[in-house]
């Protein structure tokens, strides 16, 4: 169909969420339910010399205590199988689980934890990225060469994986440049920090387990339970009740296997709910710290001729799902620019920090912050306006980018012009205020996804999908697609989702995939239902199937709307009293590249249906304190066809706010032993509504072939990419100094203003 904006309606999950009647995992209680707690290593690096849990097991009211000895000896992780459910001999980060208990209540569970005897020889933590990859460095994983490898994951020593992108002869091209600029930028690690802490409940019925969990990816969670507990998929069901945010941090399998194992051992349902401290230190998905060195050469006309870069990423203690991060970081440091010669090398480095993982647009905010700050440095070095320099060098329709990918119709140039116009680029501003500009990009992701659609005899439709709803509203758009295909009102469509026992497999809510992949499957399944309705209508109305139009609950003959029949009558008249459709999303091939090579390629050698954005930030900086206030952000995005404008604007606004937090306040601090110092909401400063700037959002709508339903691209992660860079460039324009570490806290801004060495 050629529909662009679908009809708007109130989100089906909205009333439950805003009234408090919606049930999240932590709200659930099962008969006979026990309380789970974990015993953590609480040192960043140490060798276990004694672990005795017998006293804990003897406490009345304790039903199960598990260690590595009580579960299958299975190593897991994406790319490199480097982890077990419980620490065995080495503790590699402070949140590593050593033991798990299930008890009658929280007090008894805590008594059991206190009774566990854990003795550890503390080892020197490996926390410095350069030291970690130096010759002779102690290894985080001494047995790394024995780990199972999947995919293209080159590794050695403390390098978990090594990726690069190369095109042309960067060294020779750099030698021809009229101006060469070199920069170094550092980004601290940060957290997803969803409002809802993690919660998991597991219950066994015979040899089958049902797990209710706060996950974004039910099928991945199921796969993790099956792999680590050595169970077939038919024996594991994952249900995700309402989800209180995830931002990527709730992707993958986290603690579902531990709680399933506890419930099996205890022979009772078991429930885990994290404290906020645990939410900070235990999950294996936080945003990676990075060190970015980049050099760019430009000619006398201001055209980029070459770029080289070296990137180190803090992988933390285990791989989690970060095997593709080095490749992604290399792409972001190359940026959405036309660069004839590129060589960027990226290494994912093991340390004794918490593992990194998929937090909203992994590596992109840090990489974009660095490269867009560097871009302004180049423009200043050659005396060119920052906006004009970008206009001269960004990719446009028909351009060949940094890895030899040629782009079809794209709208980055329009994003640039619209954002600059919206912000009033070039206007005079009061002292201490300035504008900063940044462009960014992010791919869409193709993954298998299926859907069922069922038209009942009462005219309502059930859509059953493997999609997940973590707050974005994308799942709600699936109702709109189904309704539009079948020609009924959106309120007549019911969604069944977040349940592996009911739905066909799908990627869930990760990588901006919900609408992109599940939407294609739902659209196709609903179209199958619509086609059957049209056949029934054609027989009843004595018309050609091709002439039947479905709209507003009615099947009619094109050009003769009076010749019609209600769709509800057709549904009831079918042989079974319902009409079924099932479909899988078609495979999408990633774009080809020419003239470049990629090492450690994990699906990022090109950008599928690339999303582009331009953000312009207006800030006010108090030079006496370094306090920076973001006053306005003007965000313009090319995300293909926008199907649900209300949800799309909400996504951009949320991404911008997350970007402001990453820019100014959100960063993990460590003591000298590698343990977190600010693992709590009081110390880890999130932005609140009081900090929110005025956010103006616009879209460049370009129908995109080989993409999501009706020409849509992804959207959820892209708004998180460009904000940090725009804020840094605005700070520089307001103060004359450049901040080279993220987040750009008041202390760092003040130091830069008052320290001539830092300022230079």
We report the CATH number of the domain holding residue 117 as 3.90.1170.50
Prior bond of 361 cis (ω within 30°): no
Mean pLDDT of the chain: 94
CA–CA gap between residue 106 and residue 112 (Å, rounded): 10
Q: Is residue 670 assigned to a domain?
A: yes
At 152 the pLDDT is 80
Q: Is residue 642 assigned to a domain?
A: yes
At 602 the pLDDT is 63
Quick one: tokens of 683? 């110390």
Which residues share a beta bridge with 220? none
Strand locations in 449-492 (E) = 450-455, 461-465
- pLDDT band for position 13 (50/70/90)? confident
Q: Is residue 550 assigned to a domain?
A: yes
At 593 the pLDDT is 84
Are 678 and 684 contacting, i.e. CB atoms less than 8 angstroms apart? yes
Task: Please provide residue 535's backbone torsions phi and psi, each rounded to the nearest 5 degrees.
Answer: -65, -45
More confident residue, 529 or 759: 529
Domain boundary among 583, 616, 651: 583
Within 1-116, residue ranges assigned H as helices are 14-19, 54-57, 106-115
CA–CA gap between residue 312 and residue 294 (Å, rounded): 12
At 597 the pLDDT is 79
CA–CA gap between residue 21 and residue 359 (Å, rounded): 28
Q: What percent of the chain has pLDDT over 90?
A: 86
At 589 the pLDDT is 83
pLDDT mean over 447-459: 95
User: Do both 485 and 439 map to the same domain?
Assistant: no
Which residues share a beta bridge with 52? 117
> What is residue 706's DSSP assignment?
S
The angle formed by the CA atoms of residues 726, 315 and 239, to the nearest 5 degrees, is 90
Within 216-363, residue ranges assigned H as helices are 218-229, 256-266, 276-281, 325-334
At 9 the pLDDT is 60
- pLDDT band for position 289 (50/70/90)? very high
Residue with tokens 């290593």: 41
CA–CA gap between residue 549 and residue 561 (Å, rounded): 9
User: Do both 341 and 418 map to the same domain?
Assistant: yes
Residue 523 clears pLDDT 50, i.e. is over it? yes
Within 563-688, residue ranges assigned H as helices are 567-573, 645-664
Domain boundary among 273, 306, 330: 273
CA–CA gap between residue 703 and residue 452 (Å, rounded): 26
What are the distances in angstroms from CA 596 to CA 169, 308, 396? 10, 14, 19
Q: How many domains does the chain have?
A: 3
Are 509 and 217 contacting, i.e. CB atoms less than 8 angstroms apart? yes
For residue 549, count CB atoms less than 10 angstroms from its CB and return exposed for 0-12, middle for 13-18, buried for 19 or more: middle
pTM attached to this predicted model: 0.95
At 307 the pLDDT is 98
Residue with tokens 């051992």: 265
Please, what sign has the CA dihedral across residues 566, 567, 569, 570?
positive
CA–CA gap between residue 657 and residue 528 (Å, rounded): 40
User: Do both 357 and 310 map to the same domain?
Assistant: yes
At 41 the pLDDT is 97
User: Do both 561 and 619 map to the same domain?
Assistant: no
- pLDDT band for position 3 (50/70/90)? very low
What are the distances in angstroms from CA 70 to CA 73, 203, 264, 656, 666? 9, 18, 11, 45, 38
Residue with tokens 């672990």: 51
Residue with tokens 């170094």: 184
SS (H, E, C) 90-147: EECCCCCEEEEEEECCHHHHHHHHHHCEEEEEECCCCCCHHHHCCCCCCCCCCCHHHC
User: Do both 294 and 389 map to the same domain?
Assistant: yes
Are 58 and 137 contacting, i.e. CB atoms less than 8 angstroms apart? no
User: Do both 365 and 405 map to the same domain?
Assistant: yes
Q: Which of 467, 709, 722, 444 is CA-nearest to residue 603? A: 444
Q: Is residue 280 assigned to a domain?
A: no
Q: What percent of the chain has pLDDT over 70?
A: 97
At 2 the pLDDT is 35
User: Do both 646 and 741 map to the same domain?
Assistant: yes
Other C-beta atoms lying within 10 Å of the C-beta of residue 96: 29
At 672 the pLDDT is 92
pLDDT digit string, tens, across residues 544-566: 999 999 999 999 999 998 999 99
User: Do both 437 and 523 map to the same domain?
Assistant: no
Q: Which residues contact 246 (CB under 8 A, 6 or more apart)?
A: 192, 194, 214, 215, 216, 470, 471, 509
pLDDT mean over 342-370: 96
Q: Is residue 588 assigned to a domain?
A: no
More confident residue, 233 or 597: 233
Q: Is residue 146 assigned to a domain?
A: no
Residue 5 clears pLDDT 60, i.e. is over it? no
At 335 the pLDDT is 96
Are 459 and 533 contacting, i.e. CB atoms less than 8 angstroms apart? no
Pairing of strands 46-52, 694-699: unpaired
Q: Which of 258, 263, 193 is CA-nearest to residue 228? A: 258
Q: Is residue 236 assigned to a domain?
A: yes
Are 323 and 80 contacting, i.e. CB atoms less than 8 angstroms apart? yes
User: Do both 437 and 477 map to the same domain?
Assistant: no
pLDDT mean over 476-491: 93
Q: Which residues contact 515 (CB under 8 A, 6 or more apart)?
A: 474, 477, 478, 643, 708, 709, 712, 714, 715
User: Do both 441 and 453 map to the same domain?
Assistant: no
Residue 759 clears pLDDT 50, i.e. is over it? no
Q: Is residue 145 assigned to a domain?
A: no
At 590 the pLDDT is 83
User: Do both 653 and 535 map to the same domain?
Assistant: no
User: Do both 431 and 321 map to the same domain?
Assistant: yes
Residue with tokens 């982890």: 83
Pairing of strands 548-551, 628-638: unpaired
pLDDT digit string, tens, across residues 91-137: 999 999 999 999 999 999 999 999 999 999 999 999 999 999 999 99
pLDDT digit string, tens, across residues 191-227: 999 999 999 999 999 999 999 999 999 999 999 999 9
- pLDDT band for position 402 (50/70/90)? confident
Instruction: State the CATH number of the domain containing residue 751.
Output: 3.30.365.10
Q: Which of 102, 69, 101 is CA-nearest to residue 87? A: 69
At 512 the pLDDT is 87
CA–CA gap between residue 422 and residue 630 (Å, rounded): 16
More confident residue, 600 or 613: 613
Domain boundary among 273, 306, 336: 273
CA–CA gap between residue 391 and residue 546 (Å, rounded): 48
Are 357 and 285 contacting, i.e. CB atoms less than 8 angstroms apart? yes
Which residues share a beta bridge with 306? 297, 341
pLDDT-wise least confident of 57-66, 289-298, 371-380, 445-454: 445-454
CA–CA gap between residue 239 and residue 226 (Å, rounded): 15
Q: For the sheet with 433-444, list strands across it.
A: 433-444, 608-621, 628-638, 694-699
pLDDT mean over 295-312: 98
Which residues share a beta bridge with 90? 47
pLDDT mean over 385-405: 95
Host domain of residue 294: 290-445+605-759
């Amino acid at each position: 169909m050629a529909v662009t904006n679908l009809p708007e309606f109130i989100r089906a999950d909205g009333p439950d969420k805003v009234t408090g009647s919606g049930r999240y995992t932590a709200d659930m209680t099962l008969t006979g339910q026990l309380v789970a707690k974990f015993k953590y290593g609480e040192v960043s690096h140490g060798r276990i010399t004694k672990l005795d849990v017998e006293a804990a097991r003897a406490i009345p009211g304790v039903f199960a205590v598990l260690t590595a000895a009580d579960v299958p000896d299975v190593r897991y992780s994406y790319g490199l199988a480097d982890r077990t459910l419980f620490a065995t001999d080495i503790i590699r980060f402070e949140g590593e689980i050593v033991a798990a208990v299930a008890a009658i209540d929280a007090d008894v569970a805590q008594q059991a934890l206190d009774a566990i005897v854990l003795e550890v020889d503390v080892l020197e933590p490996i926390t410095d990225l350069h030291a970690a990859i130096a010759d002779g460095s102690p290894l985080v994983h001494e047995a790394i060469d024995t780990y199972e490898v999947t995919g293209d994951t080159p590794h050695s020593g403390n390098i978990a994986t090594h990726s690069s992108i190369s095109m042309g002869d960067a060294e020779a091209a750099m030698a021809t440049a009229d101006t060469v600029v070199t920069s170094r930028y550092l980004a601290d690690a940060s957290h997803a920090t969803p409002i809802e802490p993690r919660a998991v409940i597991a219950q066994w019925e015979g040899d089958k387990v049902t797990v209710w969990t706060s996950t974004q990816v039910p099928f991945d969670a199921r796969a993790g339970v099956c792999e680590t507990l050595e169970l077939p998929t038919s024996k594991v069901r994952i249900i995700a009740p309402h989800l209180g945010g995830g931002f990527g941090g709730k992707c993958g399998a986290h603690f579902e296997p531990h709680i399933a194992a506890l419930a099996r051992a205890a022979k009772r349902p078991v429930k885990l709910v994290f404290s906020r401290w645990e939410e900070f230190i235990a999950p294996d998905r936080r945003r990676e710290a990075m060190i970015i060195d980049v050099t760019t050469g430009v000619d006398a006309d201001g055209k980029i001729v070459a770029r080289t870069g070296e990137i180190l990423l803090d992988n933390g203690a285990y791989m989690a799902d970060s095997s593709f991060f080095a490749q992604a970081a290399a792409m972001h440091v190359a940026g959405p620019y036309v660069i004839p010669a590129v060589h960027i090398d990226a290494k994912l480095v093991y340390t004794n920090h918490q593992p990194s993982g998929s937090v909203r647009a992994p590596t992109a905010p840090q990489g974009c912050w660095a490269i867009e700050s560097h871009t302004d440095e180049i423009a200043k070095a050659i005396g060119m306006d920052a906006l004009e320099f970008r206009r001269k060098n960004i990719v446009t329709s028909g351009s060949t980018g940094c890895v030899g990918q040629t782009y079809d119709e794209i709208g980055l140039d329009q994003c640039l012009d619209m954002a600059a116009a919206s912000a009033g680029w070039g206007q005079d501003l009061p002292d201490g205020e300035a504008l900063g500009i940044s462009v960014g990009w992010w791919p869409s992701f193709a993954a298998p996804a299926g859907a069922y659609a069922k038209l009942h005899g009462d005219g309502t439709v059930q859509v059953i999908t493997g999609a997940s709803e973590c707050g974005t509203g994308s799942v709600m758009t699936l109702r709109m697609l189904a309704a539009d295909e079948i020609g009924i009102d959106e309120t007549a469509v019911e969604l069944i989702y977040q349940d592996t026992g009911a739905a066909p497999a799908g990627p869930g809510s990760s990588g901006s995939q919900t609408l992109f992949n599940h939407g294609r499957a739902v659209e196709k399944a609903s179209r199958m239902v619509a086609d059957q309705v049209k056949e029934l209508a054609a027989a009843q109305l004595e018309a050609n199937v091709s002439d039947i139009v479905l709209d507003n609950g009615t099947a009619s003959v094109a050009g003769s709307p009076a010749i019609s029949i209600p769709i509800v009558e057709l549904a009831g008249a079918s042989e079974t009293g319902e009409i079924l459709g099932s479909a899988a999303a078609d495979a999408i091939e990633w774009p080809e590249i020419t003239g470049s090579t990629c090492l450690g390629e994990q699906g990022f050698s090109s950008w599928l249906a690339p999303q582009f954005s331009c953000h312009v930030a207006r800030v006010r900086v108090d030079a006496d304190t370094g306090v920076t206030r973001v006053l306005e952000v003007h965000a313009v995005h090319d995300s293909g066809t926008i199907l649900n404008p209300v949800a799309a604007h909400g996504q951009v606004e949320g991404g911008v706010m997350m970007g402001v937090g990453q820019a100014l306040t959100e960063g993990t601090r460590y003591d000298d032993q590698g343990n977190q110092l600010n693992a709590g909401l009081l110390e880890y400063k999130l932005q609140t509504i009081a900090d929110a700037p005025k956010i103006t959002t616009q879209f460049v709508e370009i129908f995109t072939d080989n993409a999501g339903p009706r020409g849509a691209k992804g959207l959820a992660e892209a708004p998180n990419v460009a904000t940090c860079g725009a804020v840094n460039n605005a700070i520089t324009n307001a103060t004359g100094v450049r901040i080279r570490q993220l987040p750009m806290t008041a202390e760092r801004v003040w130091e830069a203003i008052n320290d001539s060495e830092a300022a230079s």
